[in-house]
Structure 1
Amino acid sequence: MSKRLDGKVAVVTGAGRGIGRAYAHALAAEGAKIVVNDLGAAVDGSGREESSAAAVAREIVAGGGQAVADTHSVADFDSAEMIMQTAVSAFGRLDILVANAGNIRMAALHESSRGDWQDVMAVHADGTFNCVRHAAPLMRENGGGTIITTGDLAQGFYYPKLGSYRAAKAAILVVTLYAAHELSQFGINVNSVFPGTTSTRMAEAFFDGLDDKESFYADAKEHFQADSEAAAAEPETVPPIGVYLCTDEGRPITGRSFVMDGPDIGLCTTTSDLSFIAPSTGTWTTEELIARIPEWLTSAGAPAVAATSTHN
């Protein structure tokens, strides 16, 4: 089988396990040389602790591929530059970035600490920006490249204690769309892939952190019109669309967000049909808003969120 990414060099962040590891192996299988970036630790076959990045790089090399490990943090601007320089030092160039590193700190927004909020924004939002910022100039030198971000989709459904995570993912979407516009002139395509429910440590941490799992599952089944609780997909279901976007055939595609549901691929659009109402006299009064807004929201299909007033 021909390897469509022969000669290409890819950086995959958060590649020590889960979806990132699956990306690293999938890209390597198509011939790409991989910089495996992760901060985590793992235990090798002899019981010795090593970086999870080193463990995945070792797996790729054992399978006949080329890979090196990197343990710099995406959350730090200068460290993110060092990740990209690892690719240049080891393999002479950079063609592909999969900005996949992520974390969660589960807490309601009104109970979150400043550190929890900053930790999540630093890895997801800052980390994606930092990596894109330092990867793009190196790709320009080569005449182009591919950037894939890891997004997420709220789908109009409330996931408890994930306010910081959702805010960070929204920032990633904006970074992706802007980078797609700004970098297209340099032959760099930028897209986002939104994993569905996937068997990863982050997903396990979310489900373990739920206060009322039964209510959450019941609400999810009703919202998504599922007959039963769907099993989490394996991480290996996510990378194929990303690998395709790195190929010559996929590189014309940019500024898109692909949503995974197991092996099924959907397309997320950022536009929606807007519904407007006008005041009857040219200027809104509080009385008219009270009379009309609830019915308008219901007819527009807006999700209902009931707040109980505690004011006297």
Structure 2
Amino acid sequence: MPNNLEGKVAIVTGSGRGVGRGIAKLMAEEGAKVVVVDPGVNVDGTGFDQSIAEVVVGEIRDAGGTAVACTESVATMEGGERIVQAAIDNFGRLDIVVLLRRDPARPHGVQHDGAGVGRRDRGPSERTFTVVKHACILFRQQRSGRVITFSSQSGLVGNSGQANYGAAKSGIAGLTKVVAKDMGRYGVTANAIAPRASTRMIGAIPESAAEIRARGGVASLSGDGGGDGELQNLDPDGIAPFVAYLASDYASNVNGQTFLVYGNTVSLMSQPRPEKAIWTESGHWEMDELSARARGYLTAGIANPAPAQQR
């Protein structure tokens, strides 16, 4: 389905490698003009390599597409504004922002400076906001636009050993839902993707995270396939087609949703909604009544994801 993004201008952050690279190249193939944003940092957030973004731009141009490189950082509001301005300066408009953060999963309280949840740097949800804020100013004025963020299953349903990472990615999913409600009236959509793919980030996931799950008898997120080991076999380019779909006119009615995307599978994730409830006629619970009714109905049959282990 070529040219589904003809005439569109897209910003893709973190698009020098991995999932982002595939998205930038497919969007260009579909007719979009692309701002390839990547400062070329290492996994731990150090370093700078302008050639990382420029190589992807060269590949797009060699294939007949249109793209420019941008090495601005999303870590500051000023950087986010300059990224948006790069689209305007080079192509005169902006229609799509795809916001990837290459944040390696870290266990519990372990932190690192730079690309992930750092001590001194902004967190991933804040970094996402630096671009979204400035893009949405334009989107509101033109009454159209697409915002596509990247969350994680760790943030959506939890994954033992990844507290910082899960909290950050949950924040991105929540931010996306707020943007969807705030901007929907202007014809703008905002949706999140939880990807599974084999990238250099997989090598940054400490073995201790998997060890913690195994030691505690806790299942990983791979109960339905796509576990820690299986990620090694998932092509990062496989995420791009669904991102391009969300960016296209075909998805104009899709707003505030989260999708799990991996391999040959795309799943719509359920929205948090009340499932069942109990109430009391007196207006105030007494402990005996509450305990009996909660145990007999509200919490009956709930499985413990991390059951206590026998010593």
Q: Shorter-chain TM-score: what band?
A: 0.7 to 0.9
Alignment of 1:131-146 (within 5 A): 131-146=131-146
Cα deviation code 1:223-275 (max 9, x no counterpart): 61559953531111112111112222212221111111322111112224434
114 and 38 in structure 1: CA distance in 2 versus 1, 3 angstrom threshold: closer
Equivalent pairs counted in the alignment come to 298
Aligned residue number for residue 5 of structure 1: 5
Alignment-mate amino acid for residue 14 of structure 1:
G
Q: Secondary structure in 2 aligned to 1:138?
A: helix
Q: Secondary structure at the match of 2:259?
A: strand
CA shift digits 1:38-73 (9 cap, x unpaired): 12159xxxxxx6431112111111211111111111
Can you list the C-alpha shifts for 1:97-127, whole angstroms capped at 9, x where unaligned?
Answer: 0011231362322x55798744698252011
Is 1:233 matched up with 2:237?
no
Shift of 1:307: 7.7
Residue identity in the other structure for 2:102: G
Name the residue aligned to 1:202. Answer: 201
User: Offset of 1:133 from its aligned partner?
Assistant: 0.3
Identity level (%):
32
SS at match of 1:3: coil
In the alignment, which residue of structure 2 is the partner of 1:45? none
CA RMSD of aligned residues (A): 3.4
Deviations 1:127-186 (A, max 9, x none): 1111110111223343411111111123645231x2111111111111111111111122
Q: Does 1:158 align with 2:137?
A: no
Query: Kindly tell me: are residues 73 and 92 of structure 1, through their superposed partners in 2, closer, same or farther at Cα, counting changes over 3 Å?
Result: same
What's the offset of the Cα at 1:276?
A: 4.0
Secondary structure at the counterpart of residue 230 of structure 2 = coil
| Structure 1: runs of 5 or more not aligned | 43-48
Asked if 1:215 is matched to 2:214, the reply is: yes
Please state whether the residue corresponding to 2:205 is helix, strand or coil.
helix
The answer on whether the counterparts of 1:9 and 1:96 sit within 8 Å (CA) in structure 2 is yes
Residue equivalent to 1:265: 266
1:91 aligned onto 2:91: yes
SS of corresponding position for 2:16: coil
Aligned residue type for 1:102: R
Q: Is the 8 A contact 1:207 1:213 kept in 2?
A: no
- Say which SS state the counterpart of residue 98 (structure 2) adopts: strand
Q: 2:300 is paired with a residue of what secondary structure?
A: helix
Change (3 A) 1:53 1:307: same
* Residues 289-308 of structure 1 aligned to structure 2 (within 5 Å): 299-305=300-306
Which structure 2 residue ranges, 5 or more long, are not aligned? 43-48
Query: Offset at 1:82?
Result: 0.2
Alignment partner of 2:193: what SS? strand
Counterpart secondary structure, 1:175: helix
Pair 1:53-2:53 in alignment: yes
Q: Which residue of 2 aligns with 1:103?
A: 103
Deviation for aligned residue 1:289 = 7.5
Structure 1 residues 278, 223: CA separation in 2 closer, same or farther (over 3 Å shift)?
A: farther
Partners of 1:114 and 1:21 in 2: CA distance: 24
For residues 249 and 241 of structure 2, the distance between their equivalents in structure 1, rounded to whole angstroms, comes to 14
For 2:33, the aligned partner's letter is K
In structure 2, do the counterparts of structure 1 residues 34 and 82 end up closer, same or farther at CA, with 3 Å as the change threshold? same
Residues 2 and 29, structure 2, Cα contact 8 Å, conserved in 1: no
Deviation at 1:81, TM superposition (A): 0.4
Q: 2:192 maps to which residue? A: 192
Alignment of 1:23-62 (within 5 A): 23-40=23-40, 50-62=50-62
Q: Report the 3-state secondary structure (helix = DSSP H, G, I; strand = E; otherwise coil) of the residue aligned with 2:249.
A: coil
Tell me which amino acid in the other structure corresponds to 2:302: G
How far the C-alpha of 1:219 sits from its partner, in A, is: 4.9
- TM-score of the pair, normalised by structure 2: 0.81
CA distance in 1 between partners of 2:119 and 2:52 (Å):
20
